Structure 1
């Protein structure tokens, strides 16, 4: 490890850009093969935009590629765990492309398979990091950013494809409102507490991932999906509200977690 971003780490970023470009072209070719070239072009544009955002985010945070418990050194390579996380980001970028594509029988399963695969990789990247002893601040940042992105693009596609009611997008909005509220308190000089660990935060996020995957898949009727959404959405919204109240200092912090 070194104290600054190394040339080898920057090379890894360049490799990530090249691999994403190849995956993008392959994806566009696949969409064109099963539909038509104009549809592939429609898919290509938003996928590229989201991918550029992800790669730029990675570039901006390369200097955080160090263990979570120290800033003494930066790893020379991105590592396997971060590579898995970036693959997840690519899958979510591909999902975003279908927001501007009309649903067809040939494409009906693709968003669900992509998003579901990305969710499985969410479990795999953390496990890989722990097994290899390479849990990094960069990995944490990528994980949180891609989680938030996935909870935005997948529900948007599901709504536009008639698979989810529009009010389910309140889940996507809640994530960004929480971040915006916390950032506003920082800018105003108000106290911002550390977000306490939660016994329900990750399980509820997992429930939402499974639900969104099922909603995207053409297996249940939109009416059935809407009924399920009424059940699974409120608990997650309440957790976001509770998290904001916790960081704003409005909740009793006698407990270290909740």
Structure 2
């Protein structure tokens, strides 16, 4: 709380006092929620296989709480006049996006530290999940308020809490609530959306391009919550889940192959139309990324780099449609991977190892 007062004292110097005070009130309210979540699960500060409480929160949980403090600061920017966020100092408009990207990176650190130090706890898992959900809600609300993302993207921020409410209401009515199995794609899509929101908050890409990209990131995540609801409510049997997962795996592999072909075609079109006007370095980088994608050599990483360049190019008001088509293909490859017949895709294994579970709240 003292840190927020210190931030507010600085904001008073660059913003009107009323706006700075509004930031402080909102940030303090969300920080109170963070501490309430801590006290709610504090009795679970023990290892998953033991009931013996740890003597302290530990470094990992303190990192998670620091993430919660960062989320509260982001929430403070919501509902402020948009001109105020961009005003004051030139770099102020970059603060929410950069802060959320840092929060996303530290999401990896707390879990790694807990495993390295042997201090994994039920509390840590619960706090990690709650801070992720609160962060997505706060950051997506801010992005929509700043007109960086479309209104429908609020569904991404609210989806976890709607999921929890539906489970609570189902239990209240005495209906069965089944446990969820590990679903690696749930964590992958959550991480991708966190990264996307952070980038969307930066004043770099045009809002119309971000709106287009928001469809690709939001739909799989929302469908994932629908899938989980069908599982916990018993509407999908284990056999049905297995058959659907097999069908999805085959379909996504074919789609990924098709997207690699689309990238190749779009690259040829762009080269034919714009090659003489592009700097030599951009041509070299573009060709390299395209080759990596088509061959499936670090394809997801290459698709990420290509999507950033394409989003910047598509942000121009006179950008040809081929840039949006190519951007769509690279976004699909970021989500699905490059599929079969890929030379080397270590990212897939890393994402699978890092993928967590969405516990039934």
The TM-score, its normalising length taken from structure 1, stands at: 0.87
Mapped pair 1:196 → 2:181: yes
* SS of equivalent residue, structure 1 residue 109: helix
1:57 aligns with 2:42: no
2:77 to 98, 104, 112: 98
* Of 3, 7, 13, the match for 1:33: 13
Q: Which moved more, 1:92-101 or 1:105-114?
A: 105-114
Number of equivalenced pairs: 237
What is residue 47 of structure 2 aligned with on the other side?
Answer: 67
Query: Which of 206, 215, 218 is the matching residue for 2:191?
Result: 206
Runs of 4+ in 1 over 6 A off after TM superposition: none
Tell me, which stretches of 5 or more residues in structure 2 are unaligned? 246-361
Name the residue aligned to 1:17: none
Which residue is equivalent to 1:174?
A: 159
- State the SS of the aligned residue for 2:59: helix
Task: Report how far residue 34 of structure 1 moved.
Answer: 3.1
Residue 60 (structure 2) pairs with residue 78 (structure 1): no
Deviation at 1:173, TM superposition (A): 2.3
Structure with greater helix percent = 2
Please give the root-mean-square deviation of Cα atoms over the aligned residues, in Å: 1.6
Q: Which has the higher contact order (CA 8 A, sep 6+)?
A: 1
In the alignment, which residue of structure 2 is the partner of 1:22? 2
Deviates more, 1:74-83 or 1:95-104: 95-104
Aligned to 2:145: 160
Cα distance in 2 for partners of 1:60, 1:202 equals 24
The CA deviation string for residues 124-168 of structure 1, in whole angstroms up to 9 with x for no partner, is 111111111111111111111111111111011111111111111
Name structure 1 gaps, 5 residues minimum.
1-20
- TM-score when scaled to structure 2? 0.63
Q: Does the alignment pair 1:146 with 2:131?
A: yes
In the alignment, the residues of structure 1 paired with residue 162 and residue 44 of structure 2 have an alpha-carbon distance, to the nearest angstrom, of 25
Q: Which has the larger radius of gyration?
A: 2
Q: What does 1:245-256 align with in structure 2 at a 5 Å threshold?
A: 245-254=230-239
Counterpart of 1:243 (choices 221, 224, 228) is 228
Higher mean displacement: 98-107 or 42-51:
98-107
Residue of structure 2 equivalent to 1:87: 66
